[in-house]
Amino acid sequence: MNKVELAEQFISKQLPNFQCPICKSNFTEVQSGTLICVNNHSFNIAKKGSLFFLNAPVNTEYTAEMLNYRHQFLTAGFFTPMMEQVVSNLNGGLILDAGSGEGTTTKWMAQHSNGDFVGLDISKPAINIAGSGIAPVPYPLFMVGDLAHLPFADHGLDAIVNILSPANYSEFDRTLANGGVLVKVIPGNHYLQELRHLVYPNGKHATYDNSLVKNHFIEHYQDVQFSKLSYEFPLNSELFTALFNMTPLTWQARDRKDAILNTGLKKITAEFEIGVVRR
C-alpha cells in the first residue's frame, strides 16, 4: 500500500476517536484520500500520508534546515534512554505525540511500543519531514494541527505524550480517556549544560531553571509522579554541528557560530524530568 492508503487504513480503524477541528462534529467516512465530517468539512490526505488540519499555514522559528539537523541528532540516539522510560508507561490504544516535530519520537515509539501512534505538530515543514522516506512499520499517522483544537473526540485518546514541547492542558483533559495516561517530559536544569556554558559563559542564559514549567504542570495535575533521568551522550564534530543548529539555545549566538563550532564538545548532558499522570 502507498502512504495515502496506509493513512486511510489507520483513520478507518480509529474513526470514532477523531473529531472535526472546525465544527467539533464526528467524522463519517474516509475514502479516496479524503476525510469527511457530518457537516461536510473535508480534509485531504497528502501524498506523504499526512493530514493538514489548519485553516492556513503557521510560520514558526523552526526552519526546515533546523528540523533536518534535529532529525540527524535524534536518530543518532540522543533521546533513546528517555524514550525507553516514556514507552514503559504506555499500554496501547490510540496515542498522541503532541508536538511531534519532525517525527523521530513518534516513529521510535511506534516501533518500540504497542498502539496506534499519531504525531501532531503546528509546523508544516516538520510534518513534511516526518512523512518523507519509506513508510515505517508500524505506520504512525502524521498531521499538522493546533494543540488548542485537537482533532480528536472527547476522551478519544488512550495516551498523550508531550516531549519538550508546549502543551494545552484543557485539550489534553478533554481528549484523554478515563484510564488513560499523560506523559510530559521537561528538560532538567542541567539539560545541554555543556553547550549552555560554551555559548553563554555568564549572564542570564548561563543557567536554566525548569521550575516555571514544572510548577505549572503540577498546578494542573496535583497527582503527577515525576522521575528524573540524566546521562551523557558522546559527540563527534558532525553531531555537535547538528546540535548547535537544531536548538533555540544558540539562536542568540549565530554571530559566533564558527568559533563555537571550532571549539566543539566531546559530550553533552541529557537530563529530563518525566511526569506521569494516570487518569
Residue type for 37, please?
C
Query: From the annotation, which residues make up the binding site?
Result: 20, 23, 37, 41, 79, 102-103, 191
What residues contact residue 116 under an 8 Å CB cut-off, 6+ apart? 10, 13, 14, 93, 94, 95, 138, 140, 141
pLDDT band at 119 (very low <50, low <70, confident <90, very high): very high
Query: From the annotation, which residues make up the binding site for Zn(2+)?
Result: 20, 23, 37, 41
pLDDT band at 56 (very low <50, low <70, confident <90, very high): confident
Q: What is the mean pLDDT of residues 61-82?
A: 95
Q: Is 132 left (phi over 0), alpha (psi -120 to 50) or beta?
A: beta
| pTM across the whole model | 0.96
CATH topology of domain 50-278: Rossmann fold (3.40.50)
Could you report the per-residue pLDDT of 198-246, keeping only the tens digit for each? 999 888 888 999 999 999 999 999 999 999 999 999 999 999 999 999 9
- Reading the block at residue 152, the C-alpha cell is 480528536
Query: From the annotation, which residues make up the binding site for S-adenosyl-L-methionine?
Result: 79, 102-103, 191
Domain ranges within the chain, ordered by starting residue: 50-278
| Burial of 155: CB neighbours in 10 Å, binned 0-12, 13-18, 19+ | middle
**139 CB neighbour count, 10 Å cutoff:** 18
d(CA 272, CA 176): 23
Q: What is the mean pLDDT of residues 44-50?
A: 97
